[in-house]
Amino acid sequence: MGGALVRYRVMAYVVGVLLLVVFSGPPLRYFSDEGSTWWEIGDFIQGRVSPVHGFLYIIFLVVTALLARRARWDIAFTIQTMLLGTIPVASFWGERRATARTRATSEPAESAPH
């Protein structure tokens, strides 16, 4: 279970950080003078970072589904975890919540003698 959880956590943090960056793009672009440095940064975020974030979010969904299946999450918890990945800052809370649940349900089974 450890590898699946690590992959999930990495993707959750990457997607969460990029989500914060993506949400900063439109204000930078629309509240700055066209052609200014801030406008250029906002334009870069909207044109280049947003599509990368979208692609990585799809990978996040796949990694989350694989972990959910392995950790035997119920469908409601799985969907909530996936949706929390779309809300800035809440995505980090969702990662902590999912990690805690996975560790709580998997540790006794993994430490049991075979």
Please check the confidence at residue 112 and state whether its pLDDT lies above 60.
no
Q: What tens digit of pLDDT does each residue of 58-89 get?
A: 999 999 999 999 999 999 999 999 999 899 89
Please enumerate in sequence order all residues whose Cβ is within 8 A of that of 93, keeping only pairs 6 or more positions apart, or say none.
84
pTM given for the model: 0.85
Three-state SS string over the chain comes to CHHHHHHHHHHHHHHHHHHHHHHHHHHHHHCCCCCCHHHHHHHHHHHHHHHHHHHHHHHHHHHHHHHHHHHCCCHHHHHHHHHHCCCCCHHHHHHHHHHHHHHHHHHHHHHCCC
Please give the distance of CA 51 from its chain centroid, rounded to a whole number.
Answer: 15
Mean pLDDT over 9-23 rounds to: 95
More confident residue, 114 or 42: 42
Please check the confidence at residue 113 and state whether its pLDDT lies above 60.
no
